[in-house]
Amino acid sequence: MSLSTPVICGVIDAQVPKLASPNARLDVPTGLERRQLAYKWGNVSNINATDAETAKKAVRRALDTWERAGVSISFVENPSDASAFVIEWVDFKTDTCKAPKNNKDAAAHSGNIQSRVPVHFDLNFKWVDGKGINAADIESVALHEIGHKLGLSHSAVSGSIMYPSIDTWSTKRGLDETDRDILYNMYPAWRQLGKTGGDGKLPRSSMESHVPRNLWSRRPPLTSCLPGLMGIPAVISSETGRTDIFMRGQNGTVYYKYRPSRDVGWKPSTTGFESLGGSVTGNVAAVSWGPGRIDLFACGTKKDIVHNFKSDDKWSGWESLGGQVEGYISAVSWGPGRIDVFVKGTTNSVYHKSLTGSQWQPSKMEWNNLGGKIIGSPKAVSWEPHRVDVFARGIDNEEVYHKFLDGKSEGWKPSPSGWENLGIKAKDGTVVKVRDDVEVISTGKGRLDIFAHGYDLETYHKSFGENGWVPPAREWTKIPGDLISRPVAMARTISMITIAAFMRGGNVGVNDWNTNEWSGWKPLVTKLYTHRLQNILVVPPALSPVELTLDLGSSVYTIKDDLYLYAYN
């Protein structure tokens, strides 16, 4: 007797694209306007092979996985909420389940929030928490069905949690890069704010004081005839006044365009991109350690890190640097000829390798394990030669952890595999869990500023300077403001920092630190197509601009005191 049989989802798709590879084109549906969803339990009795409490715990873990995806989705159990979706076990062979199914052998199904279809598991199937002979893992199937609630359709990528079936005697309890790509594009942290005019053009007045007229949002567009762009663009300056943009296409190819200076047009053209080839997943990371030198890093189709660099106006071509990677890549440079690369491995530990001149350490294909058990992706920054600071969220308590490399003395501190726990604890003693990857910048030598987005939707800040950590130990300072996205930060001067985030109620907000106080959150724009932010650090700090970058082909960055916007819609 076979130990495994397919566990099939019964959701009917209007059309499931037949993708040849994880890099094939993905159609991105529209996400929900509200991101806090209520649910309630229906029948959880008489489940074949498990008890009600075990089943509920497994489903709650699946809900938690979607909450941790970094798009500010949250679920609240509320039996009295009329809008709450129902999770229950019913008999698919009787009239108990009236929802349409695409397969008579379906073991579960659901629908999006608007459909009002419950999340249903068939009582006739054998359900377990884990692996079992001819049994389905509750958490894996729940993760899939809740994806439908969020609006995701079936995927033809076998590694995706939205693949329409899973074998018994197996588990699939995480999201892959295709799941994250679609989710981030469905649920950008900065959403469309307001409406365009009747001619489809955005009203100029709301951005006039912040954006140069010649780069007004989607006018002119910066893309044309591409197979579609995915993920977060990397925007750096490899020379004074120059801007370089890198994006992954939906076909897995990396695309590139640049502007030599503020007074010169875009190359290869205003709407054109140059293809750099490659077959990558996830976001492209870019770093420059000197004029004319650009290094790119991305995740290959085998989950390895691939690398391509430009020197003397020539690209080297893509090469593998080994590794097994999950999440995003953080790459920094503390001086000419030096690059440090950090990733989260498949073991959830942080891995590191460095380039000095033309030599990779520990070797071209090997990586150093820096220890830790993290969720999300590490973030690195350098504030002087030989110094690198790395931050991440702990997998157990979702608090912020830190370690640093002091290359002039004894290497990694507190130890090669140890990490310093920075909390988060508010000044009133409340322990706060961190919802998304942290944001970190350096305004100058010996100075760090860290920002975190708590599950309470507040922003928390901690700084490092000549007096050590402020506030001390595991305390953080709350920056009041009800935000639905993690903040991004940029340093305009040593004493002036601007943070930006998407505010509840529909505004993009900015908050300025000027020497000794925060200005408070103020709306930056209210009528703009904008999306999820990520800060790409350019090191050494003397290079400009400092960038803020966004999903779906949008990028905001600053050159000196001017704020620019790109939108590749």
Residues 173, 219, single domain; the answer is no
Q: Please state, as a whole number, how many other Cβ atoms lie within 10 Å of the Cβ of residue 516.
A: 6
Of 472, 470, 500, 505, the C-alpha closest to 485 is 500
- Helix, strand or coil for residue 52? helix
pLDDT for the residue 505: 59
Whether residues 392 and 481 fall in one domain: yes
The number of C-alpha atoms within 13 Å of 333 and in the hemisphere containing its C-beta is 27
Report d(CA 485, CA 236) in Å as an integer: 23
| Residue 523 dihedral angles phi and psi, to the nearest 5° | -65, 130
Given this model, what pLDDT does residue 385 score? 92
- The answer to whether position 192 is within a domain reads no
Exposure string of 52-74, with b = 16+ CB inside 10 Å and e = fewer, is eebbeebbbebbebbbbbbbbbb
Please indicate, yes or no, if residue 222 is contained in any of the structural domains: yes
Q: Give the CATH number for residue 486.
A: 2.120.10.70
Among candidate residues 137, 37, 145, the one with its CA nearest the CA of residue 88: 145
Tokens of 407: 């290359």
Distance in angstroms (rounded) separating the CA atoms of residues 221 and 318: 28
Question: Does residue 200 form part of some domain?
Answer: no
Instruction: Please indicate, yes or no, if residue 351 is contained in any of the structural domains.
Output: yes
Are 448 and 455 in contact by the 8 Å Cβ rule? The answer is no
Residue 252 lies inside a defined structural domain of this protein: yes
- For residue 331, give the amino acid letter: A
Q: Are residues 220 and 322 in the same domain?
A: yes
- Do 168 and 224 fall into the same domain? no
Give the pLDDT of residue 506.
Answer: 52
The reply to whether 30 falls in a domain is yes
- Total of domains in the chain: 2
| Model confidence pLDDT, tens digit, residues 523-557 | 764 333 333 223 222 222 222 233 333 332 333 43
Sign, Cα dihedral of 425, 431, 436, 437: positive
Six-digit token string for 133: 């002979």
The Cα–Cα gap between 517 and 511 comes to 10
pLDDT at position 539: 21
Q: Are residues 140 and 241 in the same domain?
A: no
Shared domain check, 231 and 351: yes
Residues 228 and 114 in one domain: no
pLDDT for 436: 81
Clarify whether residues 124 and 267 are in a common domain. Answer: no
Give yes or no: residues 125 and 260 share one domain.
no
Q: Alpha helices of 160-243 — where are they, by DSSP H?
A: 177-186
- Give dist(CA 553, CA 569) in Å, integer: 7
φ, ψ of residue 98 to 5 degrees: the values are: -100, -5
Structure tokens at 267: 């190359």
Domain containing residue 77? 6-186
State the DSSP H helix or E strand holding residue 63, giving kind and residue range, or none if neither: helix 52-67
Strands 374-384 and 400-406 turn out to be unpaired
In a domain, 194, yes or no: no
Segments of the chain with pLDDT less than 70:
1-5, 12-34, 70, 72, 95-104, 185, 188-232, 262, 271, 409, 492, 504-508, 524-569
On whether residue 107 sits in a domain, the answer given is: yes
The span from the CA of 547 to the CA of 524, in Å, is: 16
| 143 & 225 share domain | no
pTM of the model: 0.66
Here the CATH number for the domain that contains residue 182 is 3.40.390.10
C-alpha to C-alpha distance for 245 and 257, rounded to whole angstroms: 5
Residues 396 and 472 in one domain: yes
Q: Cite the DSSP H helix spans in 353-463.
A: none
What does the buried/exposed string (b/e) look like for 215-237 if buried means 16 or more CB atoms within 10 Å of the residue's CB?
Answer: bbbbeeebbeebebbbbbbbbbb
pLDDT digits (tens, 9 = 90+) for 162-220: 999 888 888 999 988 778 777 876 775 433 222 222 222 222 222 222 222 222 222 23
- 371 and 501: one domain? yes
